Amino acid sequence: MNSVLDTSLIPQQDREETIRSALWESFVRVDVDHHRPARDISVRMGLDAVGPIRICSAESTAVTVRRTSRLAREDEEPAVFVGLQMSGTSLVEQHGRQSLLRPENLTVYESIAPYTLHFGRALDHHFLRIPRAVLALPDLALRDIAAIPLGSDNPVARLAFRYFAELAVSEDTRGGVYAEAIVQPSIELLRAAVTSQLGTSRVNRAALEASLGLRIIQYVRMNLADPTLSAARIAAAHGISVRHLYTVLAQSGISLGDWIRSHRLAECRRELAGPGGRLRTIAGIARSWGFPDPTHFSKAFKRAYGISPRDWREHHHPGPSRRGSGRGARTADVS
């Protein structure tokens, strides 16, 4: 269950202890130094979980977080943390290594060793905690990667950053029927980001192959509106053959053409119902999501949702046909 802590709703004298207790009970045991009187502390923190993955999203005034040697030794479930720098900068220290994190940097560090996170001006960060046993990476690999900024020159890490940043804010994805489906791909993607940074070892190649299906789908999502999107282009972008592309997707029960069509229809449905649903014609919205033929789009939409795109838009944005009376009002809104 998602919970939110907002210090503006907490008495000043209780803020530090409330923050500390929430972190200790739901995420990690750390010492927290806010560098200012309690009255000036401002923190908004969301805590949630999807399967074994715990998520903490936080915005705060300047703060330093320390995992001391004592707290590290007392760890009951060794874990790996993922930090996503959303804005500003921060410093991360572990294993004698200190790194500056900039926006869109991802970093990894361990719970079984001391670490320090320093947010000198403000904190704007997503944190994920994944059990070490679930990630299943060698101890040496985790030690070598700890406190290193990942992202600027690593395309897999850049993908991982976007994916985990979306996961951290998307309650719909983390809940219901979707939760179980995303746990394993999330773990595989993080494993691929870590091992790809370490070099072209056998474990790296295996991790990249394990996350290939997820990376393909993420690529398709990002290019869904592009009319030139094709199996050949997708395969080329991932350095594989079209045949291998279809094999990888089939292992996840995905038919590429059906997946693209259904998600393009969903985007059209969202736009037609959204606040800008009447700012463009139905045909224009359809074209922008890869449906050049309005008649074909209308039939596909009705087949998918049991309602025509025009009636769907009218339901959410009643036009003259709903407000007026007479056939003329209806025929005036034909596009």
Q: Tell me what the pLDDT averaged over the chain comes to.
A: 87
* Cα distance between residue 243 and residue 248, in whole Å: 9
* Distance, CA of 171 to chain centre: 10
pLDDT at 202: 56
pTM, two decimals, is 0.64
| Amino acid, res. 84 | L
| pLDDT tens profile 314-335 | 998 886 644 444 444 343 333 5
| Amino acid, res. 155 | P
Q: What is the mean pLDDT of residues 3-31?
A: 94
Identify the weakest region by mean pLDDT among 136-150, 194-208, 251-265, 293-307.
194-208
* Cα distance between residue 276 and residue 260, in whole Å: 23
pLDDT at 216: 86
Nearest to 203 by CA among 193, 213, 218: 193
Per-residue pLDDT band for 176 (boundaries 50, 70, 90) equals: low
Identify the weakest region by mean pLDDT among 163-167, 171-175, 199-203, 215-219.
199-203
The Cβ-side half-sphere exposure at 201, using a 13 Å CA radius, reads 13
* Cα distance between residue 327 and residue 14, in whole Å: 65
